[in-house]
């Protein structure tokens, strides 16, 4: 009885690890970390002030899209 129970635990552990390995494999294959933008810590009002101080006037650019 005892042996049967620990066998079950052992098999579940193996199954769980397999799921994790396969999951990680697909996650890595589909997610290139180089393509993931890092959320920067930007002080936007300070950026705007710096641009204004330099006498630059932002003008809307062409060729861009918003990511959903």
Partner 1 sequence: MAKPKIIQCLLCPKECKLYDGQRGDCRVRIHLDGKLQTLVYGRPCAVHIDPVEKKPVYHLLPGSQAFSIATAGCNLHCKFCQNWEISQKNPEETVNYFMPPKDVVNNALTSGSKSIAYTYSDPNIYYEYVLDTAKLAKKAGLKNIVISAGYINPEPLKELSEFLDVYKVDLKAFNNKFYQEICSATLQPVLETLKNLKKLEVWTEIVNLIIPTLNDDFTEIRKMCKWIKSELGNDVPIHFLQFYPQYKLNNLPPTPLETLTGARKIAIEEGLNYVYLGNIPQGEGNNTYCPNCKNLLIERIGYFVKEMRINNGLCNFCKFKIAGIWG
Residues at the interface with partner 1 (CB under 8 A): 35, 37, 39-40, 42-44, 47-48, 50-51, 53-67
- The answer to whether 16 and 23 have CB atoms below 8 angstroms apart is no
How open is the CA angle 51-43-68, to the nearest 5 degrees? 100
Compute the least distance from the CB of residue 23 to partner 1, in Å: 24
Token pair for 63: 């060729």
Whichever of 2 and 55 has its CB closer to partner 1, that residue is 55
Compute the least distance from the CB of residue 32 to partner 1, in Å: 12
Compute the least distance from the CB of residue 12 to partner 1, in Å: 36
Q: How far apart are CA 64 and CA 48, in angstroms?
A: 20
């Amino acid at each position: 009885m005892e042996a049967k129970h620990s066998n079950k635990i052992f098999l579940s552990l193996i199954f769980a690890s397999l799921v994790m390995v396969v999951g990680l494999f697909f996650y890595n294959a589909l997610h290139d970390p180089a393509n993931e933008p890092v959320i920067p810590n930007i002080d936007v009002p300070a950026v705007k002030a710096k641009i204004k101080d330099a006498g630059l006037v932002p003008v809307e650019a062409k060729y861009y899209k918003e990511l959903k």
